[in-house]
Amino acid sequence: MTKLLRRLGLGWLAWRLLGPEPVPAFSADQVHPMRISGRSVFVGDREFFVRESGLESDPPLVLVHGWGDHTQILWHRLIPLLEKSFRVIAIDLRNHGRSATDRGRIQIANLADDVAGIMDAVGVGSPVVFGYSLGGMIVQELAHRHPAKVSAAVLGGTSAGNLSLGERLAASLLWFSGRAVDRVSRVEFTAVKHAYLLKQGGVAGRHSRWLWNELMDRDPVLYWEAGFAALRFDSTEWVKRLPMPSLVLIPTEDQLIRPSAQYDLAARLANPELLELSGARHEAPITHAAEIAEAIQHFTEKQLTTE
């Protein structure tokens, strides 16, 4: 068995180093899911890509995506719903999407400072900010470091960090293994996520080619660096002191961030509103977009009427 596994491993390595890059067959009706153009803004000497939609006169809403995704992957079903009521400002984080890359180790605090600078660059003062997964950690840090920039926070599929030592070690081992495979070939991870999102209905079949290309277009080192930043995050000492109103969205069947950790975050916040996305998994922004859009609109309307 050991010899067989060794031969299979060497065969895979030779295939990926010497062979052509495999591409799935796509149907002829392929289209792009969200044709919203964007622009670049600079924060210091770093360039960031931002997509804006909706009316300038509507309340601003900043969207901060999660690890490994970007504006289009995570929000392509949500933005068309939100733009009816908000000036939507969707940011590609550092090392994600169309934003510039920056080699080396990063912390969640670095990404929060980036978001604060982008908000200044696009001219929004103190909007509602929605962060999902890694983006939820960034929004917590943004509200902690720049409280005047967040009038209200929507936190979805996220936690306060505080992983146990065992959880941190197990996740680190997975991250190191994933990075090792990705350095040789991005195809395997892409194939798994691509097939999963199509099967779950998160992405329609006519967007299959677009999704494949977007998933393949990632840096195999910087992708995992963002994951390590999430493992190091811990807001438990200060998250209870965040002054702004908050809405916590919890996918009840989340397979990546334990629902219990998400409930723990809600319990640490001062008087949050809580919405359980029944049956939703971590890809909730694309499988439960209508429910999330409605919750954000109701939450935001309540904040505006109490001002």
**307, pLDDT greater than 70:** no
DSSP states of the chain: -HHHHHHHHHHHHHHHHHSPPP-----TT---S----EEEEEETTEEEEEEEES-TTSPEEEEE--TT--HHHHHTTTHHHHTTTSEEEEEPPTTSTTSPP--S---HHHHHHHHHHHHHHHT--S-EEEEETHHHHHHHHHHHH-GGG-SEEEEES-------HHHHHHHHHHHHHHHHHHHH-SHHHHHHHHHHHHHHTSS-GGGHHHHHHHHHSS-TTHHHHHHHHHHH---TTTGGG--S-EEEEEETT-SSS-HHHHHHHHHHSSS-EEEEETT--TTHHHHSHHHHHHHHHHHHHHHHHH-
| 158 within a domain of the structure (yes/no) | yes
| 302 within a domain of the structure (yes/no) | yes
| 119 within a domain of the structure (yes/no) | yes
**1, pLDDT greater than 80:** no
Least confident of 38-42, 99-103, 144-148: 99-103
**200, pLDDT greater than 80:** yes
CATH number of domain containing 94: 3.40.50.1820
| 216 within a domain of the structure (yes/no) | no
* Torsion from C-alpha of 225, 231, 234, 235, nearest 10 degrees: 70
- Cβ contact 151:127 at 8 Å: yes
- DSSP bridge pairs for 91: 50, 64
- Per the prediction, the chain carries an average pLDDT of 92
Q: How far apart are CA 79 and CA 293, in angstroms?
A: 9
Q: How far apart are CA 127 and CA 146, in angstroms?
A: 12
- Cβ contact 117:124 at 8 Å: no
pLDDT value for 255: 95
Q: What pTM does this model have?
A: 0.94
Cα 197 vs. chain centroid, distance in angstroms? Answer: 15
pLDDT value for 306: 64
Q: How far apart are CA 278 and CA 234, in angstroms?
A: 27
Determine how many CB atoms are found less than 10 A away from the CB of residue 261: 17
* Per-residue tokens: 242: 């965040």
**pLDDT confidence bin for 195, thresholds 50/70/90:** very high
**pLDDT confidence bin for 42, thresholds 50/70/90:** very high
| 76 within a domain of the structure (yes/no) | yes
| 45 within a domain of the structure (yes/no) | yes
The total domain count for the chain is 1
Domain of residue 74 covers 34-162+233-306
| 78 within a domain of the structure (yes/no) | yes
Question: Mind listing the pLDDT tens digit for each residue in 120-160?
Answer: 999 998 999 999 999 999 999 999 999 999 999 999 999 99
> Which residues fall within 8 angstroms of residue 18, CB to CB, at 6 or more apart?
none
| 84 within a domain of the structure (yes/no) | yes
Determine how many CB atoms are found less than 10 A away from the CB of residue 294: 12
**59, pLDDT greater than 90:** yes
